Amino acid sequence: MSLSQIAREIAESPTLVMNEKARLLREKGEKVIHLGAGEPKSKVPVDAILAAAGKLTTGEIRYTPTEGIPALIKAIIRYTEEYYNKIVTKDNIVVHAGAKQAFYNLMMTLLNPQDEVIIVAPYWVSYPEIVKMLYGVPVIVKPEDGRFYPRMEDIVQNVGSYTKVIVINSPNNPSGIVYPPELIRELVEYCEKKEICLVMDDIYHRLVFGKNRWVSAYDFAKDQSDNSRLVVINGVSKSYAMTGFRIGWTVANPKITKVMINVAAQNTSCPAVILQQAAAGALNGIQSGIENLRLTLENNSKVMMNELNSFTDVRTVPPDGTFYCLPDFSAYEKDSVKLSKFLLEKALVVTVPGREFGCEGHLRLSYCGTIKEIMEGVARIKWALDPESPNEIYIGDRKLRRDWK
């Protein structure tokens, strides 16, 4: 049977692939350490659980308006005012089945075939694939100086007559970097001048460490009209530890929103009402859990950096936020896919290849887990790669000997 060429060209999600491999190994009793996870260990907020349970016990589990239930839309409006200092209305909001679907529906709304989307590396793995699924052309921008902080000149020189969208994810998955306010200001001003849609994926914006500061793109927007080309994507998955609830949203001008509602109506009708109710409960409820998560992640990131810095040939950039860092292991193996498979096979450590994020030779490591998992996971990696490390290691009850070079 002949299948769609564009569907056959879509890459597997590397994070989901590694999750499945780890699950299968654990089912066999292997002592796998997962340093690839994109979800925190913290519990879902009680307010979210109570809101979902309250709705479930009514027995009235029906379709909702495509754009979202009124309670959640009101919560998002209030959230946007509080954290973005931006007044919006229900005409600016669409609730989606996760931030990933929010990005898909937005690209479906904006792109014509062969329209170009500027994506800055390192980037979230799904951006290019979703653009290609919608017959757009992802244009990957890699900073010439090799750092994770893009420069405006790197972006501008890749803009052409077909450029429709620029996508920015800060705090950034996979690097953990927070882009400086000056860059955000330049991007907003440039996109307004060139009439390019600027998409800000802010899913990690409340998980920033130390003196680093996330800034809202709205702070620099001169165009506050209904023609604004600035779009924000956010959701409850990361800050609220609600990855399984699959609730995200977009904030956009009414013209974009109206069409996006039609797009969403034809592919999902609406997100599940119980999950929307849970998201509203989280946004309206006690927020202290987010600060607790942020502090835990900040401490974990320091532990991760300390352990990685014990390597002679691993180059690191300390993360400014999020769940991740993106160390450079190219001194040991330039093929990150090969390296990731090797570490899973030999050391039973799950990592995510940097190639999938536009940074070959790197591995994305998550510090969402426990301190013990971080320290033991990096110790296993060092044992597998560093010839100067001890030749033997215990993994569970087994003593393993390094018999490769």
pLDDT along the chain (405 residues), means of 10: 88 78 87 90 96 97 98 98 98 98 98 98 96 97 83 95 98 97 98 98 98 97 94 98 97 98 97 98 97 98 97 95 97 95 94 95 96 97 92 88 85
Q: 103 near 252, Cβ under 8 Å? A: no
Q: Which residue has the tokens 């690191």?
A: 316
* pTM of the complete model: 0.95
Query: Rounded distance, CA 183 to CA 204, Å?
Result: 18
Query: Rounded distance, CA 122 to CA 325, Å?
Result: 11
Task: Give me the residues paired with residue 392 across strands.
Answer: 401
| Start-end of CATH 3.40.640.10 domains in the chain | 61-284
Residue 103 has a pLDDT of 98
Residue 388 has a pLDDT of 86
**H or E stretch including 278?**
helix 273-284
Topology (CATH level 3) of domain 5-43+288-401: Aspartate Aminotransferase, domain 1 (3.90.1150)
Query: Rounded distance, CA 273 to CA 281, Å?
Result: 12
Q: In Å, how far are 142, 152, 217, 365 from 222, measured between CA atoms? A: 28, 19, 10, 38
Residue 15 has a pLDDT of 72
| Start-end of CATH 3.90.1150.10 domains in the chain | 5-43+288-401
Neighbours of 78 (CB within 10 A): 13
Neighbours of 13 (CB within 10 A): 15
Topology (CATH level 3) of domain 61-284: Aspartate Aminotransferase; domain 2 (3.40.640)
Residue 397 has a pLDDT of 84
Q: Which residue has the tokens 């030749």?
A: 391
Neighbours of 255 (CB within 10 A): 13
Q: Which residue has the tokens 């009101």?
A: 74
Q: In Å, how far are 171, 252, 318, 326 from 80, measured between CA atoms? A: 17, 12, 29, 30
Q: Is the peptide bond before 122 cis (omega within 30 degrees of 0)?
A: yes
